[in-house]
Amino acid sequence: MDGRGTIELVGVFKRFGDGTVAVDGVNLKIADGAYCCLLGPSGCGKTTILRMIAGHETPTEGEILIGGENVVGLEPRRRGTAMMFQNYALFPHLSVRDNIAFALRAQGIERKERYRAADAVIEQVQLTALANRMPNQLSGGQQQRVALARAIVTKPRVLLLDEPLSALDEFLRLQMRSELREMQKRLGITFIHVTHTQLEAVAVAEQVVVMDKGRVEQASSARGIYADPASPYVARFMGGQNVLSGVVRSSGDGRAALTGAGGREFELTGQNRQLAAGSAVNFAVRRDEVVLAKAAAAPALGVNALRARVTMTEYQGTYVKVTLAIDLAPGEMNGADEFVAYVPEADFFAKAIQIGDAVVASWQTGSGRLLTGDANAFPRH
C-alpha cells in the first residue's frame, strides 16, 4: 500500500438543477486498501458520492482527493477508479471476454494481449467456461461476476460498487458478499460499496459510513457503528439498540445518573462528555443486553429497569425477539420507539415468557451508551 488508494472528501456539496441537495457538506477519509461501505436509505446521497468519486458527477463545491490528488474535473479513466454498476451495464453486443477486455481495447492494447489479460481475470472469477457467452445467456450471479471482472481488469486503485448485490436473490447475495470480501483482500485495493442493507454493510466492511439526508451521520468500524452508535438515527437505523431518554441528575468521572419519565433511574458509564445537570439526553441500550424477568419475581425496581408488557415474540433461532410496551407513567406519552429485548433461546423458554406477561426489563450500567444528535431522527423506510 502506497497510499494511492486513499480517498478524501473535503467539504463536498452536490446540488442538482432542481434545487435538491443530494450531498450536504461531507468530509470523509477512506484509508488505502480499506473496504468501505456507504450505508443509508435511498436518497441519502450515498450513490451521488460514489458517482462523484467515479467522475460521473461533479461536486458543486469541495474537493475529492484520490491518493492525495484532487480529481475533480478529471475524466473517470484518469482517476484510477473503476465502477461496477448497479445493473452491471454489460455491453449486450459483446461476449463475456470482449466485455472484460473492453477497457483494454480502449487503451489501444492489441487483441492477443488484451485477451490474455481478460482470460486471467475470467479465471479469477471462475467464468472460464462461459467466456464466449453473451451477457443475456448468463444468470444474475454470473453477470455480476463479469461486471466485477470487467472492473478489475484495468488494475484500478479504487473499485466503486453501486448496490452490487441488490439484484441477486438471498442465497447468491450471501455467496457474492464473501466473494467480494475475498477479492478485496486478494487485490489489496480500496473498495467502496454502496448499500442500503445494514447487515450487508457490517458483514463486508472495515469502515461503515452511515448517511442520512446528504450528511454523514457516523463513520466508524462495523463494530463501532453497530455496538456504539453515535446518534439516535444511527442506533435506530442499524437496529439492535433501544433508544431511551432522560434528564441528567448528576455527572462526573465518566458516570452519569439520569432520571427518565415517571422517575425511572438510569446510569451510564464510559462516557467522557461533561453533561450539565438538568439537560435532556438520549442513550441507547443493546437489545441483546436487556434481561427480562417476570414482574412477579422482581417486586422492587432498581436502577436501569423498566416495567413493561410483552406484546410480541418472534423466534429467530438462536434468540427470540421480544417486543415490549413500556408501562407508561402518569402523563407520559407513548414514544415512537419500540422497546425490544433479544432473549437467548434457552432463557426465553426457561422463563416461559408469553404474550401479555408483565415483565421487568433491566440491564447492566455498562450497557447504556450516550447518543448525540436529533432525538427525532427516524430512518425512512
Give contact residues for other proteins (rule: CB under 8 A).
54-56, 75-77, 81-83, 85-87, 89-93, 102-103, 105-107, 136, 154
Asked if 217 and 378 count as a contact pair (C-beta separation under 8 A), the reply is no
Phi, psi at residue 211, to the nearest 5°? Answer: -120, 155
7 vs 290, which CB is nearer to other proteins?
7
**Cα(301)–Cα(325) distance, integer angstroms:** 17
Q: Smallest distance, Å, CB 56 to other proteins?
A: 5
Shortest reach from residue 257's CB to other proteins, in Å: 55
Q: Which amino acid is at 327?
A: D
Residue 83 C-beta: closest distance to other proteins, Å? 5
Indicate the pairing of strand 280-286 with strand 319-326: unpaired
Least distance (Å) from other proteins to the CB of residue 145?
16
**Residue 29 or 56 with smaller CB distance to other proteins:** 56
Shorter beta-carbon distance to other proteins: residue 155 or 255: 155
Q: Which residues is 326 bridged to in the sheet?
A: 308
Q: Measured from the CB of residue 100, what is the shortest distance to other proteins in angstroms?
A: 10
Nearer to other proteins, 79 or 264 (CB): 79
Q: Write the CA distances from 50 to 17, 151, 220, integer angstroms.
A: 19, 15, 18
| Least distance from other proteins to the Cβ atom of residue 81, Å | 8
Nearer to other proteins, 93 or 112 (CB): 93
- Residue closer to other proteins by CB (options 82, 125) is 82
Of residues 60, 62, 55, 71, the one with CA closest to residue 16? 60
Determine which helix (DSSP H) or strand (DSSP E) holds 308, and give its type and residue range: strand 305-315
Give ∠ CA 315-321-324 in degrees, rounded to 5.
Answer: 130
